Amino acid sequence: MKKLAAFLVIAFVSSQLIAQMRFNPQIGLSMMNVGNPPAGVNFDGKAGVSIGADLRVGGRFQIIPGAHFLSTVSAYSSSTAGNSTIITGDVKTNYIKLKALAGYNIIDGSIFKFRANFGPSYDFLVSKKSSVLGNVNSGDFFLQGGLGIDVLFLTADVGYAQALTNKFESGAGKSRGVYINLGIVL
């Protein structure tokens, strides 16, 4: 009898979660930069690309786990003290971003929704192309937050992400930047 009751409770909760779960594939642009870089190095963020999907679990209040492939590009220049030689180039990095955000629909209409979200994410380094810079850490913890709208099944999000960990093994540099994503809600 206890097993049957437990099964019924789990089945009921699962059905309620599935009924309030939406799939949100997205594509977007990001502009990431590095603050407090290593001595003698300057960064200037360029547009990068993001593609992935989120799950929205809940009604007005939501838990939003997601996974995205993120490709970033930063222009850099480097010089040594007393040396007139300046080295320039691009740092190209690819990441898998896993996030676990909390969201709240400020306006929760059937046709139009306006929402805010906030939470942690982690970027796993997949690849890096740069012949000049030192070792990049294998990943970065971020806090990110943003605003979004849904109109019918179309969605748009803008936000800001700030790294909590250093980008380089030397202990220098923290990534930060803005993003915009467009997608659909299924």
134-149 residue pLDDT tens:
577 788 899 999 999 9
Closest CA to 78 of 131, 36, 41: 41
Radius of gyration of the chain (CA): 20
pLDDT at residue 5 in the model: 74
pLDDT at residue 131 in the model: 56
pLDDT at residue 73 in the model: 81
Domain 22-184 has CATH 2.60.120.480: no
User: How far is it, in rounded angstroms, from Cα 34 to Cα 32?
Assistant: 7
CB atoms near residue 71 (< 10 Å): 16
94-132 residue pLDDT tens:
999 999 999 999 999 999 999 999 999 999 989 887 655
Sites in the chain below the pLDDT cut of 50: none
User: How far is it, in rounded angstroms, from Cα 108 to Cα 150?
Assistant: 9
